[in-house]
C-alpha cells in the first residue's frame, strides 16, 4: 500500500484545515436546517393524521431525514471541492506528488466525514432544541453508522463525477441525482401514506429502506436494519469503484 495512507492523510489534512478556516464549510447543513425548521414546525399536525404511526413524533420523523440530507449534501459539497481542485490545477499537484493516487480519494472521503460530523451535530443540536425526544431506546450508533455510510457513498459518487468532468460545471451533475434520491423517498409522511407514482418510486428507492431503518434506530425499534446496512455498504462499494474509474479517466486524459 506504499504511500496510500500518507497520501490520504495529507489530502484529508488539507481539506479539514480548509473547512475549519472557512465558515462556508457549514453550507451543507443550511438546506436541511431550512427544511427541518420550516416543515417540522409547519407540518407538525401531520403527526395526528390517521396512519402516521411513528412513535417519537413528527419532529423526530423530520429530523432523521434532515440529518441524512445534511450528510449526503456534505458528500456532494466534497465533490464540488474536488471539481474545483481539478479546474484550478491543484489536483495536478496531488497527482504529481502522490505515490499511490487512490489515497487521494480516501483523503477526500475522510475529510468529508469530518465535515459532516460537525454539520450533523449542528442539525442534531437544533433538533434537540426544537424538541426531538432523547429518551427511549435511541440507538445512536445504528443511526450514526447509517449516516456515515450515506455520506461516504455520496462523497464517492461526487468524487467520481468531479474527476470525470474536472470542472466546477460538475456541480449540478453531482447535486441533482442526490436531491432526487433524497426527495423521492418518504420525506414528509411515512411510505404507507404516500400515493400513486410517488409511492411506487419511493418503494423502489433504496434510500427509503435506509431512511426507515434510521427512523427505526431513533425510535429504539430498529426495522430493516440489516437490509439498510447492506444497501449502504453496497452503495459505498459501487461508488468506490465509480470514483476509482473517475480517477483513472483523469489520469488518462492528463488532468
Burial class (CB in 10 A: 0-12, 13-18, 19+), 220: middle
CA distances, 86 to each of 122, 162, 237, 244 (Å): 30, 8, 24, 15
Pick the closest to residue 127 from 69, 174, 50 (CA basis).
69
Nearer to other proteins, 11 or 146 (CB): 11
Identify residues 192-251 at the interface with other proteins (CB under 8 A). 251
Choosing from 2, 23, 42, 196, the residue that interacts with other proteins (CB under 8 A) is: 2
Under the binding rule (CB under 8 A), the answer on residue 24 touching other proteins is no
Nearer to other proteins, 55 or 97 (CB): 97
Under the binding rule (CB under 8 A), the answer on residue 20 touching other proteins is no
Dig out the grid coordinates for 246 from the structure: 473517475
* Minimum separation from the CB atom of position 5 to other proteins (A): 9
* Minimum separation from the CB atom of position 245 to other proteins (A): 16
Helix (H) or strand (E) holding 243: helix 225-253
Count of residues engaged in binding other proteins, rule: CB under 8 A: 31
Cβ atoms of 107 and 183 within 8 Å: the answer is no
Under the binding rule (CB under 8 A), the answer on residue 23 touching other proteins is no
* Minimum separation from the CB atom of position 244 to other proteins (A): 15
Identify residues 70-89 at the interface with other proteins (CB under 8 A). 88-89
* Minimum separation from the CB atom of position 157 to other proteins (A): 24
Tell me the backbone φ, ψ of residue 155, rounded to 5 degrees. Answer: -65, -45
Distance CA 253, CA 255 (A): 6
Identify residues 79-138 at the interface with other proteins (CB under 8 A). 88-100
Relative orientation angle of helices 58-87 and 206-219, to the nearest 10 degrees = 130
Choosing from 6, 179, 183, 229, the residue that interacts with other proteins (CB under 8 A) is: 6
Name the site residues for other proteins (rule: CB under 8 A).
2-3, 6-7, 9-11, 13-14, 17-18, 21-22, 88-100, 251-255
Amino acid at each position: 500500500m506504499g504511500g496510500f495512507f500518507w497520501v490520504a492523510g495529507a489530502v484529508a489534512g488539507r481539506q479539514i484545515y480548509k473547512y475549519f478556516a472557512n465558515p462556508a464549510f457549514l453550507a451543507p447543513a443550511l438546506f436541511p436546517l431550512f427544511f427541518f425548521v420550516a416543515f417540522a414546525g409547519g407540518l407538525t399536525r401531520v403527526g395526528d393524521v390517521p396512519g402516521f404511526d411513528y412513535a417519537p413524533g413528527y419532529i423526530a420523523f423530520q429530523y432523521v431525514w434532515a440529518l441524512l440530507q445534511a450528510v449526503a449534501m456534505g458528500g456532494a459539497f466534497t465533490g464540488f471541492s474536488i471539481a474545483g481542485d481539478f479546474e484550478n490545477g491543484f489536483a495536478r499537484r496531488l497527482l504529481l506528488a502522490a505515490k499511490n493516487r487512490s489515497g487521494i480519494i480516501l483523503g477526500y472521503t475522510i475529510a468529508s466525514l469530518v465535515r459532516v460530523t460537525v454539520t450533523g451535530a449542528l442539525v442534531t443540536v437544533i433538533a434537540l432544541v426544537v424538541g426531538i425526544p432523547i429518551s427511549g431506546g435511541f440507538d445512536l450508533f445504528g443511526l450514526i453508522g447509517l449516516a456515515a455510510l450515506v455520506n461516504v457513498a455520496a462523497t464517492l459518487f461526487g468524487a467520481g463525477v468531479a474527476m470525470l468532468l474536472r470542472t466546477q460545471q460538475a456541480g449540478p451533475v453531482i447535486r441533482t441525482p442526490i436531491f432526487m434520491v433524497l426527495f423521492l423517498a418518504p420525506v414528509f409522511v411515512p411510505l404507507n401514506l404516500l400515493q400513486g407514482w410517488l409511492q411506487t418510486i419511493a418503494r423502489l428507492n433504496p434510500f427509503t429502506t435506509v431512511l426507515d431503518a434510521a427512523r427505526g434506530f431513533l425510535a429504539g425499534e430498529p426495522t430493516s436494519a440489516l437490509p439498510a446496512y447492506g444497501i449502504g455498504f453496497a452503495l459505498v462499494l459501487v461508488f468506490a469503484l465509480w470514483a476509482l474509474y473517475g480517477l483513472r479517466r483523469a489520469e488518462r486524459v492528463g488532468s
